[in-house]
């Protein structure tokens, strides 16, 4: 898996290095050695446009009619062939059956609410790149932390 | 005869009364002299008291002058201490910056040479075979389930050492500079205007564009990542002012001291983590600055470079 320096990755994506740092750090995914693997690079590519949107505060989400848990709101799949023109045609030439159906109170159209997927966060208490204890290797001058660079598999 | 006798008696009475009056007058004159002497003595005493009062007034005036002089010297000392503190903070940050620059250059040189050596080794034809051999020997030696005869173990250890000498940079940890990255992280809580927490550290300039061998960039990014992780996204970016990286965070509804401490801990933890990730020993010292000193060292609205 190829790794990139975060500055190079940011330049490739057209953002500043601190933008890239902020994106990864806000998801608890910033690597402290500054080397971005492919997964994090994909995260950067996905998040570069909506970074400020996500960090600017909460977004208003449409609420379902019934007071139920967001996880239990049914997601109705759209009809495979139900173009709006087809439903509008009977309005031009209304049949008595259609008229009687129109007079009856229509139920409100179902609101298709797809709850936003929860952000991928480590569980509370789990070590992240910032909070994880560093592995130390005792050396001649005492303990020294060493990060082994990944080996490029192509070579 | 009667008249003469009356005249003589009257004359005698007049002479007696006159003598009594003379005595009375003499007594009064003596009394006046005593009062005059008493008055003179009192005047002398008053003069002495007035002289004492004059001396006391002079002493008071002299003491007041000395007091004013002492206050002036105290103001001078305060001003001098203020200026010396400002200078000490600036020189400390500048020293940290210069020292960090030295370590950064060592880091860059060591890592560049290390990477060059790695690239050279990886370009050689038999490097892959040697790495395979090395890791197989490593796994074999660490496998406690398989007994290895002493002679075979000795031969494997020797082979491993030979391989280590030939492909060392590919299996050894990257080198780190001998020195210790030492820095003073100053923080303060400013109450003037909009309350804000400030944390500053003297860091050398990062390369433009930065690279994987750029220790200042690594430290800067690590500290900012730590701030984002601990305080939250959307925090203001750090700015660079005369070689000093400054984090300034509005306190908002929190106590400014508390916000300053949180920001300081986040920056310090980020610097330590980033330095550890780079394999560079790190010693950071935190110093709380008085707001008056911080206002002079880090003026708001100055010519700062935002990242």
pTM: 0.63
- The yes-or-no verdict on residue A82 having pLDDT over 60 is no
Residue to mutate among B233, B245, B267, B305, with most A CBs inside 10 A, is B233
Min Cα distance A63 → chain B (Å) is 26
Task: Retrieve residue B21's tokens.
Answer: 């009056």
Residue A145 has pLDDT above 80, yes or no: no
Cβ of B277 within 8 Å of Cβ of A147? The answer is yes
> Across residues B108-114, what is the average pLDDT?
88
Tell me the shortest Cα–Cα distance from B281 to chain A, in angstroms.
Answer: 7
What mean pLDDT value characterizes chain A? 63
Burial class (CB in 10 A: 0-12, 13-18, 19+), A57: exposed
Q: What's the CA gap between B192 and B184, in Å, rounded?
A: 24
**Cα B282 to Cα B293: distance, rounded to the nearest angstrom:** 26
Q: Decide if pLDDT at B12 tops 90.
A: yes
pLDDT value of position B193: 81
pLDDT value at residue B216 = 93
Mean pLDDT of chain B: 89
Instruction: Tell me the pLDDT tens digit for each residue of B61-80.
Output: 999 999 999 999 999 999 99
pLDDT at A20: 93
Task: Compute the average pLDDT of residues B39-46.
Answer: 97
Confidence band of B187 (pLDDT split at 50, 70, 90) = very high
What confidence score (pLDDT) does residue B174 get? Answer: 82
Average pLDDT estimate for B22-27: 97
Check pLDDT > 80 for residue A141: no
Q: Verify whether the Cβ–Cβ distance A6 to B276 is below 8 Å.
A: no
Tell me the per-residue pLDDT of A85-113, one tens digit each, with 9 for 90 and over: 444 444 434 444 444 444 445 555 555 66
Task: Please state the domain extents for chain B.
Answer: 1-61, 110-171, 180-306
pLDDT of B283 above 50 = yes
The answer to whether B173 contacts A148, with C-beta atoms less than 8 Å apart, is yes
Whether residue A145 and residue B277 make contact (CB cut-off 8 A), yes or no, is yes
CA distance B278 to chain A (A): 6
Task: Select the residue of A26, A35, A151 nearest B212 (Cβ to Cβ).
Answer: A35
Q: Is the pLDDT of residue B41 over 60?
A: yes
Mean pLDDT of B150-155: 85
Give phi and psi for A142, each to the nearest 5.
110, -165
Kindly report the number of other CB atoms within 10 A of residue B89's CB atom. Answer: 22
Q: Which residue has the higher pLDDT, B234 or A87?
A: B234
């Amino acid at each position: 898996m190829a790794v990139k320096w975060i500055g190079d990755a940011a330049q490739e994506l057209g953002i500043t290095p601190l933008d890239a740092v902020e994106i990864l750090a806000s998801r608890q995914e910033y690597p402290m050695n500054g080397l971005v693997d492919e997964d994090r690079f994909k995260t950067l590519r996905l998040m570069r446009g909506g970074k400020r949107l996500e960090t600017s505060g909460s977004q208003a989400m449409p609420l379902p009619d019934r007071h139920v848990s967001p996880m239990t709101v049914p997601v109705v799949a759209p009809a495979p062939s139900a173009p709006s023109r087809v439903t509008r045609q009977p309005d031009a030439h209304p049949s008595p059956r259609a008229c009687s159906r129109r007079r009856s109170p229509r139920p409100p159209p179902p609101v298709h609410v797809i709850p936003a997927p929860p952000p991928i966060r480590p569980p509370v208490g789990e070590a992240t790149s910032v909070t994880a204890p560093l592995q130390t290797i005792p050396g001649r001058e005492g303990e020294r932390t060493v990060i082994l660079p990944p080996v490029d598999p192509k070579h | 005869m009667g008249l003469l006798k009356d005249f003589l008696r009257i004359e005698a009475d007049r002479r007696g009364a006159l003598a009594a009056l003379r005595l009375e007058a003499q007594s009064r004159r003596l009394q006046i002299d005593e009062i005059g002497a008493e008055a003179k003595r009192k005047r002398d005493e008053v003069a002495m008291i007035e002289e004492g009062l004059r001396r006391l007034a002079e002493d008071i005036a002299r003491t007041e002058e000395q007091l004013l002089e002492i206050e002036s010297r105290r103001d001078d000392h305060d001003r001098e201490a203020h200026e010396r503190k400002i200078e000490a903070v600036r020189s400390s940050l500048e020293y940290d910056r210069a020292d960090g620059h030295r370590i950064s250059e060592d880091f860059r040189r060591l890592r560049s040479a290390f990477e060059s050596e790695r690239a050279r080794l990886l370009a050689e034809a038999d490097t892959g075979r040697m790495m395979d051999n090395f890791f197989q020997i490593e796994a074999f030696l660490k496998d406690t389930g398989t007994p290895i005869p002493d002679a075979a173990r000795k031969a494997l250890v020797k082979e491993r050492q030979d391989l280590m000498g030939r492909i060392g940079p590919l299996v050894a940890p990257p080198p780190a500079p001998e020195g210790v990255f030492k820095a003073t992280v100053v923080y303060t809580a400013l109450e003037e205007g909009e309350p804000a927490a400030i944390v500053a550290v003297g860091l050398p300039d990062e390369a433009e564009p930065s690279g994987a061998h750029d220790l200042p960039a690594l430290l800067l990014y690590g500290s900012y990542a730590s701030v984002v992780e601990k305080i939250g996204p959307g925090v203001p970016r750090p700015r660079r002012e005369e070689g000093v990286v400054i984090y300034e965070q509005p306190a908002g509804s929190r106590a400014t001291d508390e916000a300053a401490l949180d920001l300081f801990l986040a920056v310090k933890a980020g610097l330590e983590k980033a330095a550890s990730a780079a394999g560079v020993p790190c010693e950071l010292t935190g110093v709380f600055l008085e707001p008056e000193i911080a206002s002079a060292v880090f003026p708001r609205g100055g010519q700062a470079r935002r990242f």
